[in-house]
Structure 1
Amino acid sequence: MIGSNQVPYLLRAARGEKLDRPPVWMMRQAGRYMQVYRDLRDKYPSFRERSENVELAVEISLQPWRAFRPDGVIMFSDILTPLPGMGIPFEIIESKGPIIEPAIRTQEQVDNLRPLDPEESLPFIRQILQTLRHEVGNEAAVLGFVGAPWTLAAYAIEGKGSKDYATIKSMAFSEPSMLHQFLGHIADSIATYVRYQIDSGAQVVQMFDSWAGQLSPQDYRTFALPYQQRVVQQVKATHPDTPLILYISGSAGVLELMGESGVDIVSVDWTVDMADARRRLGYDIGVQGNIDPCVLFGSKPFIRERILDTIRKAGDRGHILNLGHGILPKTPEENAAYFFETAKQVDHLLATV
């Protein structure tokens, strides 16, 4: 149902307002830790069907909203979803993850890629986001998300998940011009995709450069940062008021460089203390995070103390409380519920400790 005319709480934080508590949501909050999701997955075993069928994707996106009332509702999708629209087919196998066949390895393949037309290849995304906006109104912000160029290129070139990223790094160091062409193509298509999500109802968009943390700072500055900036610059040229978030796993070594991307908010993982992240990034950039997902396996007093510690260090402006990575599949649902409950009572808790 459409709510009041108030601006969603998460959007206020993303725009830098001083608030009594930070808004809260979780990465991967719609997913395998919830029994209701596992039941639906058993009925519809294809991930792509679950994420590209409007009715199913909306239902999955709303499962944590109904259970926990987070301040952000993120659409259920995948960072690889736009690749077929560029001419890169993929499948997701439940036990193995994404498979891209044939992997992108030649100049001819790069030359044959096509620019993304979301209206043609991703019409379900518009319907999902429009429906989510209608369902949650202004009670929560609707988040879209995309993969960043380096990470999407890594999947496409490796052909699957990787532990050493040897194939894309070999291309980076031996055929850099081909890789730069590929990264540029992806960046322009992803910028188009972000704008499409915003026009469809996304109020905040998070960009995942999940694998960029595997780059040295020198190589990050060459192969990841310029293409993050290219996406952000194109989006901000047409949608300057929509907050953008950047997340990288294992980002401690490139945290300052993340701040150079042009995004409004840097999502911090747990390998960096929140107070240190604030110092390194500066207070002009918002922060998100950064609680270790394994904290949710601890006792309720332990969970509460970690929440309070993070919020104290982040301060009362420009902080979105989140995990430092996605919630883990075996997390007890009651602990997820307690995480949200505690976060929403934090102004009272801080006043009494």
Structure 2
Amino acid sequence: MIFPRALLSIALLATSSAFAPASSHPRSALLCIHSTTEAAAVQEDVASNAGDRDILIRAARGEQVDRTPVWLMRQAGRYMSDFRQYSDKYPFRERSETPSMAIELSLQCHRAYGMDGIIMFSDILTPLPTLGIEFDVVKGIGPVISTEVRNDEDVAKLADVADVDFDKTLPFIREILGTLSKEAEEANTSLIGFVGAPFTLASYTIEGKSSKHCLRTKKMMMADDDGSSTAMATFLDKLATMIGNYGCHQIECGAQVIQVFESWAHQLSPKQFEQFAKPAAQKAIKIIKEKYPDVPVIYFANGGSSYLECQRDMGADMIAVDWSVDMAEARKILGPDIPISGNVDPTILFGTKEQIEEAVRECIDKAGGPGKHLLNLGHGVMQGTPEEAVGWLVDECKRYKGKDA
């Protein structure tokens, strides 16, 4: 299936992106406009699908829509050969902080598959330097954070959140989102921004890298718990304010919906979530919602399905759930009034076309039927995923009308 709204974006990119390579994807390779007649036909098709422009946003607000919208976490990634033309050549921060590259990488997947949202190519760690926390993303290793934060003194040395100027410290964000906002409008789709939740950013910083047990972080949490330190609570509060303000900044730059990623929720017991992660995430979400009440916020706790009941009052408009919980059970736990997103197992994309389509239909049915939730994976698209499999998932979601149709 070729998505007409993506064609206009390609026509723009053909003249505007100095970094854009020729697409090697079998679907996107066909996406080009050869004549004025075809361009007019494209515009007519876009007009006839005008509701697609904000279908994801309306679903995130909890409105029932005429079909189930879809986007995928890590939808821009190494599973795409076009993406690897950049990732094999340029370091991560150069890609994510060079507007022309970040814009192209954000758009590749939408041009190929026509998801209902374009998400900015960036990282949850991107705003850490605003507080004086330096990081890098090393190929084959992952994030490496060089600034040490282990105690009250270390936290006190961090920059004052009141002094953070995102345009000064992260000037590329406004250019990236500003351009993507125009591209999303031309492509008749939504623009998604995102932030990392405070606990996840705190843990990355404290551990200095990915960690199997988060032992340093948990020692700091225990020190707070017994009253011998306030470092963890202070650090989380500082991060919550910065992240909330960063989410507002993304909205001011063009983002229409914000997803909050609690990527390390699997490291937390329900008690630890309630005591540390939840209040900090709630504060960040509250900052965003108080300033921009009409912009939907989605909260996703990866590995947090074991305490999904604790997430009913996050203050977010929608809760995204991981793949480890049955969608029908998740809907039951959250209740009928909380909009939900998720949660197809990413590994199903290594299956057959029939298995992928069945998984999509099952997820939609268990969420209440077409138009009753926002389809996503229960985690990100995995490296090595066959490119055509992503297209099968997106196509089936857009096509499916329900059991009785």
- TM-score range normalised by the length of the shorter chain: over 0.9
Correspondence 1:206 to 2:252: no
2:331 is the alignment partner of 1:286 = no
Evaluate the alpha carbon distance shift between residue 265 and residue 318 of structure 1 in structure 2; reply closer, same or farther with a 3 A threshold: farther
- Rounded Cα–Cα distance in structure 2 between residues aligned with 1:237 and 1:30: 30
Worse-superposed segment, 226-235 or 186-195:
226-235
Contact 1:142 1:204 in 2 (8 A): yes
For 2:246 and 2:95, the matched residues in 1 are separated by: 20
Q: What is the match of residue 108 of structure 1? A: 153
State the shift of 1:259 in Å: 2.0
**Counterpart secondary structure, 1:321:** strand
Q: In the alignment, which residue of structure 2 is the partner of 1:128?
A: 176
Contact 1:285 1:318 survives alignment (8 Å): no
Please name the residue that 2:124 is paired with.
Answer: 79
Q: 1:118 aligns with which of 166, 169, 172?
A: 166
- Amino acid aligned to 1:48: R
- 1:7-59 CA-partner distances (Å, limit 9, x unpaired): 52111211222223210011000010000001122232x10000010000000
Q: Provide the TM-score with structure 1 as the length reference.
A: 0.96
User: What residue in structure 1 maps to residue 114 of structure 2?
Assistant: 69
Q: Deviations over 1:45-75 (max 9, x none)?
A: x100000100000000000011001001100
**Pairing partner for 1:239 from 273, 277, 292:** 292
Write the deviation string for residues 139-186 of structure 1: whole angstroms up to 9, x where unpaired.
111000000000000000000000001000011002451110000000
1:226 to 279, 295, 310: 279
Cα distance between partner residues in 2 of 1:104 and 1:156: 7
Q: SS at 1:224's partner residue? A: helix
Pair 1:50-2:95 in alignment: yes
More moved, 109-118 vs 328-337: 109-118
1:35 pairs with 2:88? no
In the other structure, the counterpart of 1:147 is 196
Asked whether the equivalents of residues 61 and 318 of structure 2 are also in contact (C-alpha less than 8 Å), the reply is no
CA deviation vs aligned residue, 1:84-139 (integer Å, no higher than 9, x gap)? 11100001101100111132113222112112321211121111111111012061
User: For 2:312 and 2:261, how far apart are their aligned partners in 1?
Assistant: 14
AA matched with 2:318: I
Query: Quick one: distance in 1 between partners of 2:88 and 2:264?
Result: 29
The letter for the 2-side match of 1:30 is A
Shift, 1:318, TM fit: 4.5
Contact 2:76–2:106 at 8 Å: present in 1 too? yes
Code of the aligned partner of 2:236: L
Q: Which residue of 2 aligns with 1:258?
A: 311
Q: Which residue of 1 aligns with 2:12?
A: none
1:317: how far off? 4.9
Counterpart residue number, 1:328: 382
Counterpart for residue 209 of structure 2:
160
Conservation of the 8 A alpha-carbon contact between 2:151 and 2:220: no
Partner-residue secondary structure (3-state), 1:43: coil
Structure showing greater Rg: 2
Provide the C-alpha distance between the structure 1 equivalents of 2:242 and 2:339, rounded to a whole number of angstroms: 26
1:12 is matched with 58
Cα deviation for residue 260 of structure 1 reads 1.6
1:195-229: per-residue Cα shift (whole Å, max 9, x none)? 00011110010000111232111111110110111
Does the residue aligned with 1:91 lie in a helix, a strand or coil? strand
1:194 aligns with 2:247: yes
Query: What is the distance in 1 between the residues matched to 2:232 and 2:394?
Result: 42
C-alpha separation in 1, matches of 2:148 and 2:362: 44
Q: Tell me which moved more, 248-257 or 200-209.
A: 248-257
Identity of aligned residues (%): 46
Q: Which amino acid aligns with 2:380?
A: G
- Structure 2 distance, partners of 1:290, 1:277, is 10
Checking the alignment, whether the CA contact within 8 Å between 1:14 and 1:318 is kept in structure 2 is no
Relative CO higher for 1 or 2, CA cutoff 8 Å, sep ≥ 6?
Answer: 1
Gaps of 5+ in 2: 1-7, 10-45
What count of residue pairs does the alignment treat as equivalent? Answer: 350
Give the Cα separation in 2 of the matches to 1:318 and 1:131: 31
CA RMSD in angstroms comes to 1.5
Question: What is the match of residue 182 of structure 1?
Answer: 235
Structure 2 letter corresponding to 1:179: M
Provide the C-alpha distance between the structure 1 equivalents of 2:71 and 2:86, rounded to a whole number of angstroms. 22
Pick from 124, 135, 153 the counterpart of residue 90 of structure 1: 135
Instruction: State the one-letter code of the partner of 1:32.
Output: R
Q: TM-score when scaled to structure 2? A: 0.84
Contact 2:152–2:230 (CA under 8 A) maintained in structure 1: no
Paired with 1:266 and 1:241, the residues of 2 have a C-alpha distance of: 16
1:265-276 aligned at under 5 Å gives the runs 265-276=318-329
